Homo-oligomer: A and B are copies of this chain.
């Protein structure tokens, strides 16, 4: 079944009149973990205390839940709550939020759009996973309405963003911290799981503000994530894409951290793109190694995202600026409507699967 024992993502839910707490999704139900596992760590309103326990605890807990659900151990029916009775919340407290820029197709497309006539990739791009810090306080859970931001669009021009865009991404959630000054160890010792990310972007604000210190207000108004965090252990892995030139020693891969995740971008119910994660140039283990090579500490709840996932085909682009070539070539929706960028009332949903596994979805409506 979908959402079966091979999946078991974690989230934070509440029933009417009760406090938010940690649960695991199983089919169309939520397993209420604190009473089911007799463990108060799941009574917290965020995954952070559980995520801080580390890899062995994550594995043991997953095995225990699987045993409960497949009948080796009993599960009380009252601990399995129908999804329609619960509300879903932010699954974890975000410590620092970093966004990378790991798709070679996305980076090349943006280079062609924003710097026509010059080499699409900047000189550093193939040498390191370019990234920057975003605003962790405005990471919101799927379903939160997204208010169209106002801002400066050019010299002397202030108003509502006219080029409101999405970025379909995968995000990685850190469980186990590092000490200041010590680069991270193995990826699977630190990263708890993955979430879907929609990094809403105001392209007109961005193009005016971003030199020389990078995107700021163009991104900080909202970043949406999916409510269910898929454990790393559940994700099938594949080899990463070949890299040329060979990366610096600290960025060399120690294992297969390519992910065969297929994303889908849905605008008002119609699929507009199917970005393949498998073609990403920089793999998440390389993002983590880069993020900490200077000694920057990790904290429980750190979130780092891949950057827009785009494939080489037009129908595989993970942002509207690419799909519509900065608005010059609007997309035609199956309904007959066209879009250059998002209009008020539009709903964008990003869904993903990894083989038979679903990663759920992240959704938001422009208000």
A contact residues vs B (CB 8 Å cutoff): 95-96, 98, 101, 122-124, 127-128, 130-138, 140, 144, 147, 149-152, 155-156, 158, 180-181, 202, 205, 208-217, 220-222, 245, 248-250, 290-291, 293-299, 302
In the complex, are the beta carbons of A293 and B137 less than 8 A apart?
A: no
Whether B209 lies near A155 (C-beta < 8 A) is no
- Cβ–Cβ contact B131 & A290, under 8 A: no
- Least CB distance from A51 to B in Å reads 15
Residues A216 and B132 in contact in the complex (CB < 8 Å), given A158-B250, A222-B180, A297-B137: yes
Question: CA A334 – CA B214 in complex, angstroms?
Answer: 38
Query: Within the complex, which residue of B127, B147, B210, B290 is in contact with A295, where a contact is CB–CB below 8 Å?
Result: B147
B298 touches A137 (CB 8 A): yes
18 residue pairs of the A-B complex, CB under 8 angstroms, read A95-B136, A98-B216, A124-B155, A124-B208, A130-B213, A132-B215, A133-B133, A133-B135, A137-B297, A137-B298, A138-B296, A140-B180, A147-B295, A151-B293, A205-B294, A212-B214, A217-B290, A221-B294
Q: Given A95-B136, A130-B213, 16 other A-B contacts at CB below 8 A?
A: A96-B135, A124-B208, A128-B209, A133-B135, A137-B297, A147-B295, A150-B295, A151-B294, A152-B248, A156-B248, A158-B250, A210-B214, A213-B215, A217-B294, A217-B296, A221-B295
- Closest B-chain residue to A214, C-beta based? B214
Given A248-B156, A248-B158, CB of A137 within 8 Å of CB of B214: no
B158 lies within 8 A of A297 (CB): no
In the assembled complex, the CB of A366 is this many whole angstroms from the nearest CB of chain B, namely: 12
Residues of B within 8 A of A222 (CB): 180, 295
Please state the number of chain copies in the assembly.
2
Please, which residues of chain B bring their CB within 8 A of the CB of A101? 213
Smallest CB separation, A116 vs chain B (Å): 15
- Which residues of B sit under 8 angstroms from A293, Cβ to Cβ? 150-151, 217
- Complex contact B122–A220 (CB within 8 A): no
CB distance from A99 to the nearest CB of B (A): 8
What's the dominant secondary structure at chain A's contact region?
loop
Expressed in whole angstroms, the Cα–Cα distance for A122 and B209 within the complex equals 10
B221 touches A296 (CB 8 A): yes
Residue of A124, A136, A140, A213 with most partner-chain B CB within 10 A: A213
Q: What is the CB-to-nearest-CB distance from A24 to chain B, in angstroms, rounded to a whole number? A: 28
Say whether, besides A140-B180, A155-B127, A294 and B212 are in contact (CB < 8 Å).
Answer: no
Contact of A133 among B123, B134, B210 (CB under 8 A): B134
By the criterion CB–CB under 8 Å, are B211 and A122 in contact?
A: yes
> In the complex, what residues of B have CB within 8 A of residue A135's CB?
96, 133, 296
Q: Which of B122, B137, B221 contacts A96 (CB 8 A)?
A: B137
Residue in chain B with minimal CB distance to A307: B213
Complex formed: what's the CA distance from A137 to B181 in Å?
12
Given A138-B180, A155-B123, A250-B158, residue A133 in contact with residue B297 (CB < 8 A): no
- Cβ contacts under 8 Å, A245 to chain B: 156
Alpha-carbon gap, A4 to B130, bound state (A): 48
Question: Which residues of B have CB within 8 Å of A131?
Answer: 213, 216
